[in-house]
Structures are given as structure tokens and as C-alpha cells.
Chains A and B, each alone.
Chain A
């Protein structure tokens, strides 16, 4: 009987679930790429080979993002791409393309598909080291073998080189000896025993491998050793002076090095041209002769020159001079190749450069042929900005904003603006109107629903992009050299200081970063629509940044000031005139390592700001093992529309909506439980711990979303080996303590806490809640999965109030009965098959429409779309049948007219009877 009951229960719950799912929004097939786009990246260049003489010309590359791939040399598009393992396993140590070996005696080239040779070989990781052979035409793997070094620590510094079908594994034992093991490249069998070469002169700071030579810098001389030579003879090469920078190897030449922008050879069989001086050198071949090409950036012009290696005479055909845009950063030449024709004139040579802004630039025939912006593989912050108004709307906006004194002036202003509008319309019609501004010409004008915005992306390399969120076009790029993220693994920040709402004033964004040179703070302000620096642009601060906060808008220029807490706990405000607004602000800092929180009160007295420490919290545990792994506060622009939740008995359960509530998650290893995770909800104004929870046998990866009165976080449960999501909701109870103003200092009693855990049948990579203009629309949680998909999960399914037994109360409340496993229907994947490799973060922003939320997912790729959690209730459906509705209207009106006529005739007839 019980069995029957439970099965009936599950049936009911399943049915209700199905009903709910069917109401979920999904995409239609004809909406593909209608309001979404994806850009695919490979990452910043590590190794590259341009090969134009293959039957299928290609650029083979490996990157710092552990990606290997092949690009089309004509357009720069990706032909294929393989995303390897994450670091340290995926770290690519060597990329060897057959036919690109040092000497022509290379016999690795073998027919495709055979297991004897290889097209391309990669060596990655150190423990184990994986050696893989790839088919370069389609990108599939051919063979794979691995070795596990005995001493894994030492193997971290191991280097590899390839010569004559043999792969050499060079493991240095610092200040002692070098171990060299050789393997047959394609099979992994050792060719003999490991040879130990005594070398007490090697140290981790200044050694490298150039071809088969192991070279170390020792003061004014280079000490080197040929690892392939029969006799282990140490060669010393003296330099004129001690080099000021690190030595580099020159790939392609055995034993050649770049020391202080000049070439040096430690191999007496290999001559180089020692008189050349350049930032970057590469070796290639031109008209069947080996050449050295070098590139320098002089006054924004990129000059590429080349000399023949044998006699150091210049190659005039390869000389190039190209205008090189600022935003690429400083270039370095990585590879070049020429299509071999008899007596080539150098016009069909392609030079590949990588830049400090992580771009890949291809130069051919005196111009930049294509450029790939690979810094976009590391987006760290994004903002959506409203586009500027068209002029006419702007004046209208101005009028609405103006604080009109009396009716007469308001009326006069109205009349004059209308006159101006008519005049401009007239001028426009006869073709004498003012020329459209740059932004207008680019189509950057606000649309009526606020869906078209400027997407500003900040990348880890310091490059900033302004991208059209609908078309995906890059409108501007900016490059900030010498900036980096902060301590405590905090990234640079992108802040909107002034939005586009204040019409004659342009919007203003700021980037807060750390200077690489001295560790002090850097503030860069720019116009996010045009990408031009404004308000003086780059500002070097003379203090370190510890914490920052945004102030409210100032009265005069509507700029939100940036409040900065420096290393010595002093408070600064930028711009200065916003300083008085900082009075009465509360700040907190969190140290991840020690898990210590500090709360400060900012006081403005006598023209001086000061930060008063008012509370501190130690989350380190009794033996200070706990470390903070995640901090989640609410989105400051969030609006909560509904203050409570109606229960089954028609009473209201009021939400506990505390904007100062921040969730902290700490993790520590534990003797009995492997790993313990603690979650704390702390009011960061008063410093009181509102709620805390402990999970045992649970570990990172942890992802957390915090919004309204709820919190959801995912973690890995080691005990049952699955990913779970715990959700928490906070309620004040059936009465609100103060329904108009929230004060953390007069905090209401401890909230009621509802909690529940769910199983999610995938690995969670990122989580974010949707956000809309007024918060009326339902909240969904966007969950990025390991496959690169983004699932839209309605909050109904994550609701901790889902009743376990199907009581009538829960059902009346509209909650679905509890099922432990969350469904992931494929219709809810907002990015369908446009998966985002290595998904790292999802950002959301409200649009002008209440129903719609803009989404950008970043990782190796970028995916931009919009979602409508409660469907587009404020828009007509795009498949709305205008014809049908007009036909129905016409038919109904004409029908009613005819019928009335008939009815009156009948009435008349009846009257005559």
C-alpha cells in the first residue's frame, strides 16, 4: 500500500514538474544567432609555425591557455582547435611540427595515418608528461604515450627537445647534474639508459635550452654544454658585459641565443650575425636560403627586416614597414613563411607576430592582414552601458530633467525645443543637417527597448574592448600596459562612474588596477562609448589599494566617486570633490589566507577622511586552518519587487532582505572528514554573524549566487562523489520589523532560515542569477556546466521550501514537491550547441525591458545573449500573427454591421406583422 502511495506521489510530482518545465522559456530554431553570438579564441601565443607550402596552408600553434590549433593563414579563422587539460597537466612544453626541425635530416614526416611518424607532436605536463601526436589536417590525435618521472619535483623544471626522431627529456638537478633520457618520439620506448652529466654550475634563474645546448648565464660569460655530443665538454663563451635582461633562445638555430637584443652562438658550428640588434628575431627560409628576420617598433611603425644567415647580407625583398596600432602593444616576431616560387619577391611571405596585449597579428604585403584578439580568452570584468541618445531625444531628456521654476518658462522651453526639432527635421530633409556623429554613423544609437548596449570587456592583459552586444562588432580597443590584478587574487576592476542617463555629459568608466612597476594603484578613466581616455586618463596613485567602494552620485557632474582604502588604512576618494559623500560609509576587508574580516566606518571631519575599525571577525577556526574560498555579496543594482511570499493559509511570510548581507565560504582540510566547508552569512555593517552552516566531506569547486533573500551554492560532495547545490532562504517571519527603511544597526531578530540541498547531475562551472530593471520578473539561476553549456534553472526548482511530503500547504503555495535530482532539460540550454570552452564566469545585466536580461558568458570563448525568465510578457511575440488578427478584426466588425442591418430588418418585418 505504501509503495503504491509513494509511486502515486512521485507520479504527481513528476507530472507537476513536467507542467512547470513546459512553461519554461526555450529557444526556437529560427532564433539561432538572432540575438546571440559567440566568439571563439585560442589564447595568447606560445609556439607558432606558419606553413604556406603545405597542400593546405595553415598556421599551427599552441597557446598559454593550453590550446593547440590550426589557423587559416588568409583570414586567421580557426580551422580546428583542441583544448587540452588544465594546468599543470596541460602546460605545453614543446610543440614540434615535422619538417620544422633544426636540420633537414628529419625523418619524422611519414604518411598520414601511419604510426611511424607524426605531423605535429606536443609534450605537456611534467608528472606525468604526456606526449601526443596530432593529425594537423583535421585535428585528431594519432598516438599518445606518457611517462611518470621518479622525482616529480625535479621534473617540474624539465625541458624537452627533439632531434632526429628522438625526443630528449632533460631534467636538471640544480647545482648538481643534468639527467638526459631519450625516447623514440612516436613510441615512447627509451633508446638507452638515462645519462647523468655532472654540472654544478646550473641554477634555476639563468639557464635555458637552445636546441641541444644547455646554456647558463654566469656573470659575464655563458656556460654551455652540448647534450648530444659524445664528450661532455663544457664550453664557455664570454660576453662583453653582463647582460641587463634575461637570455632567450632563438628557436630554429642550434645553440643560438639572444642576449641583450643581440645574437650570440655557443655552437661553434653555427654562425650567427652578431651585429644585428632588435627586439625579436626569428629564423626562416627564403628562396631556399636560411634567413634571420627581425622586427622593431619605431614611432608606431613596425619595421621588419631580414638578413641571410650565411653571409649576413640584407634581404631587400623581405623588408616591410607597417603602421602598427597602439592597442596591440609591443610586438614580437614569432614565425614567418613564404610561398616558395622561383625567385620570390617576398610579397607572398606571411609574418606572424604576438604582442604584449595578447593579440596575434599577421602581416603580409605591407599591411596587417588579420589580427586575432586573444586577450578575450581571459575576460575578468564586463559592463553593459546604454548607448548615447540621438540628439533630438537628448534635448527632450534635458527638458524632462530640468527643474522648471514656473509654467511660463517650461512652456517657453517646450516651444523652443519643438521649434529646434522642426528646424533640424527640415534641414535634414533638404540635406543640410549636421553630419552624423561618429557613434551615430557606427549605428550606436539607443533603441527603444534598451536591448542594444555597449559591452565593455576588461581582460587580464590590460586590454579593454568596446563591443556591440547585438552585432558583436569591436568598436574600440584600448591597451593599458603594465597593469595587473591585486593581491589576495583579486582581479582588476571595471567601474561605471557615470551612466549614459545624464545626456549632455558623456558616460564615464574607470579601471582600477595595480601597477606592475611599483605595486601602487592605477586609475584609468575613459569614455566607454568612444573608447577615448577622459578626465585626464591614466592616474598613477601613490598608495597601494586594499579595498574600494563606489560612492553615490555627486550633485554637479553625476560622477560616482571611488572610495579607496589604502594599505595603511587611509581613505582616499577619486575624484576629490566627491569626498564629503564618503561620510558615514561602512567598509569591510577580507583576508583570504587568514580568513580575517575587518569592518571600518568612514568619517569625514575637517576636510579629512578617516577609517575607524569597528569590528573584526576571525573565521579561521580553532587552529586557523580555514581559508576563505569565496565571498558573495548581492548585486548593488538589484531591486526586490515582492517583499514577501503568500503561504497556503493566505498569510504572508516576509523576506529578510538585508542589502549588507555577505556570504563567506571557508574551507579547511580535516583529519576525520577529509575537508570541511563552512558558510557564514555576515552583516558587513554591524559585523554580526546572521547564520552559519557546516558541510563535512565537502570540497571546492565552489560557486555561489546571492540575491534577494536567498543564496545558492554548489560544491562537490566527496562522500557520495557528486556535485550538489544547497539553497538557503531567509525570512523575517509573518511581520516586518520596519517596512520602510533597513538598518543593520537596529537589526531585526534573527531570520527564519529555510534550507535544502539538491543533486545536480553535472559539474558546475559558474553560476549567476538573472537580473532585471525592476525585479518583477522571476529570478532564474544560470548554471554553467562542464560541457560548456549554460542552463537556465528556474528558482522554483531550487526553492528550499519545496515540500518533501506532498502536503496540501506546499501545493497551495505553488511549490513543487521535492525531488533530489535537478532536471537539466536540453531546451533550457540558452547557448544550444554554441558551447563556451573553459567557461569561467557569467555576467548578467538588466535591459530596458523588464522581462529581458542580458547575459555574457566568458571563458576561452565568449557567448552573448539575452534571456527572458518569465517570457517576454512586455513584448509582442516575434511570431505574432498580424495578418490573422487584422482579418479577425475586419471580419468581426463587418459581420456585426451586417448582422445589425439584418436584425433591424427583421425587427421591422415583425413590427409590420
Chain B
């Protein structure tokens, strides 16, 4: 059902646009050469804004009409834009062309213009993937600015929230929280003591004290911790007992 409606809509669209093209049919007086016509709309000022569309000066100082070029086959045929945005490309033989509008800052969608040997014009969307698919656009061409080119990446800025919620910090902070908060939450004195005995002495034993190492090295003696260790071990056993 949906598909049918879509097809009907598409058909209507096609037929209506064809009628428009039929009316606009223009055969140039030049034998076998035709003139492509169209209008380029000013950047920042959409076609919806109508008559108040003044030319917009872009950052580089020049008027957009000068920076903009309308070309086919990379400059084989070219059109230049008048102050009001109108352009023509004259002396084009019949064929199928991709018309590009180049502006260093603004993106315009290219259009495929087809001129048949009788001089009928058809404009459609460029589809490189499926060249047979036809989505017509009105002719004379109306080239609307689609978007401003985004050439630059945005720099990452240092924010405290980013830092706090980064996985590294979270991984470090959560266990720390557990370590500090959990023992205080446990009320049972027995388990509390056990935890205390389990964790902290171990940490101190594992990490060799730099100063001790240095003194032992300078004194040239066997390091003392070896004597200490049994003591702590004794302590533990004592306390357990």
C-alpha cells in the first residue's frame, strides 16, 4: 500500500516536472550548441528569504560571485555568475554533463544536465552509484548552498568533568572508594580487624623502602628486612592466636 502511494507520488512528480521542462524548452540559435541556464543562490541567504537576499561577503573579502565558479568537465565549459546569481554556460553540444558549482567555503550539490540532440534539457541529481536512477530537479537550474565546508577538527579542551569521567580515573577512583569506605561500613569488629590485618601489612612488606635499601647498600650489610619479616609474621600469628 505504502509502496503504491510512493510510486504514484513519484509519477506525479515526474510528470509535473516534465511539463515544466517542456515549457522551458529552449533551442539555441547556434547549430547543435545549447545554453545551460541557472541561478546560484547566495551563501547564508536561502532562496526562501526571497528578495532581501543581499550578496554576502565571506571572510576572505571577495564577493562570493567571484570566488564561485560553475564548471563542466573541470573547466572545459564554464559559466560565470552575475551579481544576482544568474549564470549561463553557452555553446555546449548535446550530451550528458555533470555541472559543478565550486566555492572554497560553501558546498553546492552537483547536478547532471542532459541535453538531447533535439535540444531538450533534463536536469537530475548526480548518482554515481546507480547511474540509471533518475531523480529530476527543475531546469533552469537552481543551485542552493547546502552547507559550509567543515575543514577543521575541533580541538579537545581540558575539562574537569572529562577528566573525572575518563575510564582511567574511574578505574582508579572506584576501588579506592571501596577500599576506604567499605571497611567503615562494616560494623562487625571481628571482620574489621581481619581486613585491617590482611591488607595493609602486606602492602608495606611488598614495597621495599628506598632509604633502607640505600643504607643497607652503603653499609654493605645484608638488608635488615629479612630479620624483620619473621617478627611481623610472629606478630600476626600471635594476634591470630
Contacts and interface: CB of A to CB of B under 8 A. Distances in A.
B131 A720 contact: yes
Given A138-B83, A148-B33, A832-B152, A89 B90 contact: no
Contact of B158 (A125, A144, A826, A884): A884
A80 B90 contact: no
Given A130-B90, A145-B90, A786-B71, A138 B76 contact: no
Contacts of B35: 146
Contacts of A829: 149, 151
Contacts of A346: none
A826 B74 CA distance: 19
A138 B30 contact: no
B91 A722 contact: no
A147 B30 contact: yes
Nearest to B73: A763
A138 B63 CA distance: 7
A427 interface: no
A158 to B, nearest CB: 15
Given A84-B78, A827-B150, A761 B128 contact: yes
B158 A835 contact: no
B32 to A, nearest CB: 8
A832 B77 contact: no
B204 A827 contact: no
Contacts of B30: 128, 146-148
Contacts of B128: 720, 722, 759, 761, 821
Interface residues on B, range: 35 or more
B143 to A, nearest CB: 14
A841 to B, nearest CB: 15
Contact of A835 (B104, B107, B129, B152): B104
Interface string A748-789: 000000000001010101000000000000000000001110
A879 B78 CA distance: 43
B69 interface: yes
A827 B75 contact: no
A89 B76 contact: yes
B153 A787 contact: no
Contact of B66 (A90, A140, A827): A140
B31 interface: yes
A140 B80 contact: yes
Contacts, number: 133
Interface stretch (A21-29, A219-227, A411-419, A672-680): A21-29
B65 A138 contact: yes
Contacts of B151: 26-27, 826-827, 829, 832-833
Given A140-B63, A721-B96, A786-B74, A148 B69 contact: no
A258 B75 CA distance: 36
A907 interface: yes
A146 B32 CA distance: 13
A85 interface: yes
B21 interface: no
B82 interface: yes
Interface in B83-130: 83, 87-88, 90-91, 96, 98, 100, 102, 104-105, 107, 126, 128-129
Given A130-B91, A135-B83, A85 B78 contact: yes
B155 interface: yes
A140 B83 CA distance: 6
Given A85-B77, A138-B66, A761-B128, A144 B88 contact: yes
B81 A140 contact: yes
A787 B101 CA distance: 9
B199 to A, nearest CB: 12
A629 interface: no
Interface in A877-913: 879, 881, 884, 903, 906-907
A881 B80 contact: no
Given A128-B33, A139-B66, A28 B155 contact: yes
A223 B169 CA distance: 93
Nearest to B150: A826
Tier of interface size on chain A: 35 or more
A838 interface: yes
A82 interface: yes
B142 to A, nearest CB: 19
Contacts of B88: 144
Task: Indicate the member of B62, B104, B150 with the most A CB atoms within 10 Å.
Answer: B104
Nearest to A720: B131
A721 B131 CA distance: 8
Contacts of B33: 128, 146, 148
A779 B31 CA distance: 50
Interface in A222-261: none
Given A83-B69, A786-B102, A140 B155 contact: no
A142 B82 contact: yes
Nearest to B106: A833
Nearest to A879: B155
A235 to B, nearest CB: 36
A82 B100 contact: no
Of B35, B150, B151, B204, most A-chain CB atoms within 10 Å = B151
Contacts of A86: 75-76
Given A135-B83, A907-B204, A82 B66 contact: yes
A885 B171 CA distance: 20
Interface string A122-135: 00010010101001
Contacts of A881: 158
A27 B131 CA distance: 34
A820 interface: yes
Contacts of A139: 62-63, 65-66
Nearest to A830: B151
A28 B66 contact: no
Nearest to A85: B78
A835 B68 CA distance: 12
Contacts of B73: 763
A881 B155 CA distance: 13
A881 B81 CA distance: 48
Contact of B153 (A28, A833, A903): A28
A514 to B, nearest CB: 29
A132 B105 CA distance: 26
Interface in A82-116: 82-86, 89-90, 113
B73 to A, nearest CB: 7
Contacts of A903: 204
B210 to A, nearest CB: 9
Interface string B44-82: 000000000000000010110110010101111110111
A141 interface: yes
A85 B75 contact: yes
Contacts of A821: 128-129
A649 interface: no
A30 interface: yes
A717 to B, nearest CB: 10
Contacts of A80: 62, 66
Nearest to B156: A879
B78 A146 contact: no
Interface string B196-209: 00001000100000
B240 to A, nearest CB: 15
Interface of A: 26-30, 80-86, 89-90, 113, 125, 128, 130, 132, 135, 138-142, 144-148, 720-722, 759, 761, 763, 765, 786-788, 820-821, 826-827, 829, 832-835, 838, 879, 881, 884, 903, 906-907
Given A28-B154, A907-B204, 9 more contacts: A27-B153, A85-B77, A128-B30, A141-B87, A144-B88, A148-B30, A148-B91, A786-B71, A788-B104
30 contacts: A27-B151, A28-B155, A29-B155, A80-B66, A81-B66, A83-B69, A89-B76, A89-B77, A89-B91, A113-B83, A138-B65, A139-B63, A144-B80, A147-B30, A148-B30, A722-B128, A759-B128, A761-B126, A763-B73, A765-B74, A786-B71, A786-B74, A787-B104, A788-B104, A826-B107, A826-B151, A827-B152, A833-B149, A834-B104, A838-B75
Chain A to chain B: the 5 pairs with minimum beta-carbon distance, closest first: A128-B91, A833-B104, A832-B151, A141-B80, A786-B74
